[in-house]
Amino acid sequence: MRPGVAVRSFRARRPKGNPVRSIALAVVAAFMASVPFVHAVSAAVPPPIVAQAVDDPAMAIPSPEEVKAALTLFGVPAITGHDLPDNDPLWDLFDEAGRFVVPPSGEVGEVTFIVGAYNVEDGDDEKQDFADTYGLLQAYAQQRVGPSGAVKAEAPAAADLFGANEAYDVTMITKEDGTDKNVMFSRLARFGQTIVFVSGDVKPLGAAVTENELFAAAITFATITKLVADKVK
């Protein structure tokens, strides 16, 4: 197998009183629930009724042009599409994948998005298959952050599923000398027999990931997650 509401600038600082760091470093679902636009859109999405969301999992992977259009309102400077390296351990999670990179700009370092997908084979138990893949994601997360990092995982609320049957949000925080050197948000979701993975990680401009970088990565990640859900549900 796999083997318009308030629009924020990508570089704008968050308004005072919004606990971005505590939300962004918790579960991505909790963060998305705190964003009125994302929450309202997701709550309006009905659960899928098809057994298989897409015939070809490659259909779940957006093009660079689709990603750029989805992020236009955030003022991202540019987006480039790349292949995921053949030796990337994330290939254990899916059969098809795309990688999209937003270069550093202003107060935000490089942000990378990865989208992957596969279809559960006919006759297999899609719920068990999804659970097995979630186990692989947990193992990947622990390996990625190492002994000094942190992994936070949670199933999102029903209103934040973006139409998926089930999903898990996993945040991976890589630390060095007590500082956050990289933060990756990720979601694994099942739409019928189609399993999709979306991640977004930010590399800091400075010595550690800032609150502004966390917010930019989290809100754009939520947008790409919604984009992918719209393509498969």
Record the tokens describing residue 180, joined without a space. Answer: 């956050």
| C-alpha closest to that of 214 among 68, 39, 31 | 31
Domains of the chain with CATH codes: 20-232 (3.40.1000.10)
Residue with the bigger pLDDT between 2 and 14: it is 2
Q: What are phi and psi of 153, to 5 degrees?
A: -130, 145
Instruction: Measure CA of the first residue to CA of the last residue in the chain; give whole Å.
Output: 22
Average pLDDT, the chain: 82
pLDDT for position 75: 86
Question: Are the CB atoms for 187 and 169 separated by under 8 Å?
Answer: yes
- Condensed to tens digits (0 to 9), the pLDDT of residues 135-155 reads 999 999 999 999 999 999 999
The predicted structure's pLDDT at residue 63 = 96
Q: For residue 230, which amino acid is it?
A: D
Least reliable range by pLDDT among 20-34, 91-105, 116-130, 164-178: 20-34
**Residue 165 confidence (pLDDT) above 80:** yes
pLDDT digits (tens, 9 = 90+) for 99-137: 999 999 888 999 999 999 999 999 999 999 999 999 999
Supply the pTM of this predicted model.
Answer: 0.80
pLDDT in tens, 181-191: 999 999 999 99
